[in-house]
Amino acid sequence: MRFPEPLVKGVLQRRYKRFLSDIELNGETVIAHCANPGAMTGLDAPGSEVWLSANRNPKAKLDWRWELIRVDGHLVGINTAHPNGIVAEAVALGAIPELSGYGSLRREVKYGQNSRIDLLLEDERRPPCYVEIKNVHLKRDLVGHEGAAEFPDSVTKRGAKHLAEMSDMVRDGARAVMVYLVQRGDCDHFRVAGDVDPIYAEALAEGMASGVEAICYDCSVGIEEITVARKLPLKLDEVPV
């Protein structure tokens, strides 16, 4: 996913009300939209280098969107609106082998109980594949879990609901895949943050026991583009399946 125009560097002053941030830009303070409803643990330290995109929508209330932050020398993507497009592009390019071999790809398709699946892959030669994509950017380096990319960073009832509905799709004969997309490149494996949301951890365990698949890829994050990079191993020590 290439940014449509060059990003602009600024300095984070504060994030507040979840979706707002004050950024020092060229000696002035601007308010930028923060498209991230999560806790953003470790990703909102005042004084951090951040990168903004210009908001060209004439109906938008804010002129800027917060896209990236530099943490310990690494750029991290914080915009949760991007992962679906990043994964869809990677699937089309064959960069995620587990999701290759389908004739068509549709996004935001209704299914389950008033839900939408992020990607629906279809082919007349095989069952449909329901793909749910989760943005991952939490990295706490807890003792015994150093280098882990973790999800979720806050309680996600919606995430647990999606896992139950994906299990229903598997029972109906379809394939269902959870894709955890890590918008950073400084992690070496993936784990579930069961201490943050034990209900989600349990839902994932139940989903995988019913046949839901889980894969994780990290990203190459730059100021020009964000692309899928490496497959990360899953270490689901808190998900006993």
- Residues in contact with 195: Cβ distance below 8 Å, sequence separation at least 6, in sequence order: none
Our CA dihedral for 111, 116, 119, 121, rounded to 10 degrees, sits at 10
Among 64, 60, 58, residue whose Cα is nearest residue 9: 64
pLDDT, position 98 = 98
Say if residues 222 and 75 touch (Cβ distance below 8 Å).
yes
The separation between CA 147 and the C-alpha centre of its own chain, rounded to angstroms, equals 17
In the chain, the amino acid numbered 108 is: E
Domains of the chain (ranges; CATH) run 8-76 (2.40.50.580), 83-231 (3.40.1350.60)
What local confidence, expressed as pLDDT, does residue 238 receive? 53
pLDDT for the residue numbered 107: 97
Measure the CA–CA gap between 201 and 199, rounded to whole angstroms: 5
Q: What is the reported pLDDT for 60?
A: 85
pLDDT of residue 112: 83
Other CB atoms within a 10 A radius of the CB of residue 108 amount to 10
Determine the pLDDT at residue 240: 41
Residues of the chain with pLDDT under 50: 239-241
Q: What are phi and psi of 171, to 5 degrees?
A: -65, -25
| pLDDT tens digit sequence for 91-141 | 999 999 999 999 999 999 999 888 999 999 999 999 999 999 999 999 999
Residue holding tokens 């004969």? 173
User: Per residue, what are the HEC states of the chain?
Assistant: CECCCCCEEEEEEEEECCCEEEEEECCEEEEEECCCCCCCCCCCCCCCEEEEEECCCCCCCCCEEEEEEEECCEEEECCCCCHHHHHHHHHHCCCCHHHCCCCEEEEEEEECCCEEEEEEEEECCEEEEEEEEEEECECCCCCCCCCEEEECCCCCHHHHHHHHHHHHHHHCCCEEEEEEEECCCCCCEEEECCCCCHHHHHHHHHHHHCCCEEEEEEEEECCCEEEEEEECCECCCCCCC
Rg (CA), the chain: 18
pLDDT of residue 233: 98
